[in-house]
Amino acid sequence: MSIHSMTGFARTQGAVAAFRYSWELKSVNAKGLDLRLRAPPDFDSVEIKAREKIAARLARGAVFANLAAKREDESQSARLNRAALDALVVALSERPPPANIGPATLDGLLAVRGVVDIVEPELSEDERNEIDAHILKSLDEALDALIASRKAEGDALTAVLRNRLARISALAAQADAAPARQPEAIRARLQQQLARLFESADSFDPVRLHQEAALLAVRTDIREELDRLKAHVDSASKLLAAGGPIGRRLDFLAQELGREANTLTAKSNDAGLTAIGLELKIEVEQLREQVQNIE
């Protein structure tokens, strides 16, 4: 199964009966599925079904869907609202305009909203159903194009994420093989620290000293962090191989990788190992930024 990005764009258009219409779909990143659909007032039945179609095919993303429809025949007619026009005339006669404002004209009064209504011819139920079906079929085509766009970007992101995971794995291996982690280096470092302590004090409790040295060695050991880094990288790689809507799970693993990288860096008492830890943190942060785009 493929991995899809949450970013994409698609547009379709067509004509049916007296209408020419177009669908425009755009999607960007979001925590869940946030659908924002706009349709002309006379297309409420299309809007309801369109929401169902989009929700059935997309798992995540802020999706902006816009249906534009325009009637192109000349069957429209104008209807004069005489009551509204008479009310305007009476109001103007009771309160004449100021001297610096010209008198009202007929074309000005007719331009007032509600005085003249444009009347669309009524559609039969069969005509309405035919138009709705045609427009919804076009929506399916727009969704196909949007999903193809999201898949193409998802394929590119998959390659980027695999490279990031490989880099994280390589840095973890470098940390594991760092000279500062070798037993001889740890022993030498402890001996140096103990020598400085002996120089600055008259006496030590040998038992307590041994305990403190053991605790110091445990606190600076990064074996657990390295093991967890490997486990998280393996889990993320399996998710990428499986595909599907895996964005949330990848984001969780990226957070866990970040925690392990932070702990590893904090435990380091060697400049070389610290440098590896800092680079590891950068790679994990860049991985997480890319994961935010995955559905």
What domains appear along the chain, each with residue ranges and CATH number?
8-72+126-150 (3.30.230), 77-119 (no CATH), 152-291 (1.20.140)
142 has a pLDDT exceeding 80: yes
- % of the chain residues with pLDDT over 70: 82
Residue 204: band (very low, low, confident or very high) from pLDDT cuts 50, 70, 90: low
119 has a pLDDT exceeding 70: no
pLDDT of residue 106: 72
Going by their DSSP bridges, the two strands 19-28 and 33-38 should be labelled as: unpaired
Residue pair 22/10 in contact by the 8 Å Cβ criterion: no
Residue 72: band (very low, low, confident or very high) from pLDDT cuts 50, 70, 90: confident
Residues 236-260 pLDDT 10s: 999 999 999 999 999 999 999 999 9
pLDDT of residue 25: 98
Rounded to the nearest 5°, which phi and psi values hold at 269?
A: -125, 30
Model confidence, pTM: 0.72
Of 282 and 198, the structure prediction assigns the larger pLDDT to: 282
Paired with 37 in beta bridges are 65
- % of the chain residues with pLDDT over 90: 57
pLDDT of residue 222: 85
Residue pair 175/280 in contact by the 8 Å Cβ criterion: yes
Residues 17-48 pLDDT 10s: 888 999 999 999 999 999 999 999 888 889 99
> Measured between alpha carbons, how far is 217 from 210 in angstroms, rounded to an integer?
11
172 has a pLDDT exceeding 80: yes
278's tokens: 């800092």
